[in-house]
Amino acid sequence: MRNEEYGNLKRRRAGTGVGERHGVGGMGKDASRRGRRDPSLLLRGLGLSSSSLVSTQTSQFWNAPKLTYEQIKPRTEQPSPNAYIVDVREPDEVILGSIPSSVNIPLSGFAESLHLNPVAFKQKHGFEKPRQDQEVVFYCRSGKRSATASDIAKNRGYTNVLNYEGSWLDWTAREQDKSS
């Protein structure tokens, strides 16, 4: 192979796009040569730090205690100011219905909302920010996003986190059974 051809091949492998060479888009200078993404740049793009990655990795084995329909139903009939039922679905899903006495914090902005001070949180969501020792039950459509929200809350220092595993699908099925 001639030197000129070798140089062209080397440049193609390294990536000649301006974004790749300068670390834009999650590719660091050295990482682009190897074709790998630089995790710290990706995290920064998501508004996270490498320390949040470490805390997420160490908590991957933690699962929030799970509630059943029979356990959550009384919480909806006699709501307490010391407990929240939080729907982490997006607004277009919540329009279709929600569990009585629940409040909505969409998962898409959930981590950011937990970083807000209490005044900004209330302005954004219309209710008081949960205290870190307050009971918080999460639900979504099927239980997956609520598990994610539970992990995020735990990583942010919340100590009384619960997950309604059946979530909206279970709730609606059980409520329909009662009315039939």
At 84, is the secondary structure helix, strand, or coil? Answer: strand
Long-range CB contacts (within 8 A, 24+) of 93-100: 93/141, 93/168, 97/168, 97/172, 98/168, 99/72, 99/139, 99/168, 99/171, 100/76
Q: Which entry of 140, 147, 152, 162 is annotated as an active-site residue? A: 140
32: its two tokens: 């682009």
Phi (first) and psi of residue 57, to 5 degrees:
-65, -40
User: Residue 137 — left, alpha, or beta (φ > 0 → left; ψ -120 to 50 → alpha)?
Assistant: beta
Is residue 140 part of the annotated active site? The answer reads: yes
Residues labelled as active-site residues: 140
